[in-house]
Amino acid sequence: MKASELRKMSDEELHKELLAKRREQFNLRMQRGAGQFPRPDQFGKARRDIARIKTILNERRARSETR
């Protein structure tokens, strides 16, 4: 997911997307723990998507506090 796509979303949509990505990350960890091996690149992709969403939410929060 690109940052430009995320910036077009509302805060509520970003929170929903963040929750979905955290669930995805949790499910990947559970699969790995159960002996199923998902593609290794999925772990990094989920982690980076979570970081992008949190960064955008923090930018918006900081911008609203300075106003």
pLDDT tens-place string over residues 17-36:
999 999 999 999 999 999 88
Domain that holds residue 12: 3-66
Q: How far apart are CA 45 and CA 43, in angstroms?
A: 5
pLDDT tens-digit series, residues 12-22: 999 999 999 99
Q: How far apart are CA 31 and CA 25, in angstroms?
A: 10
* pTM for this model (two decimals): 0.89
- Assess contact for 17 and 53: CB atoms under 8 A: yes
The confidence score (pLDDT) of residue 66 equals 82
| Structural domain count of the chain | 1
The confidence score (pLDDT) of residue 23 equals 98
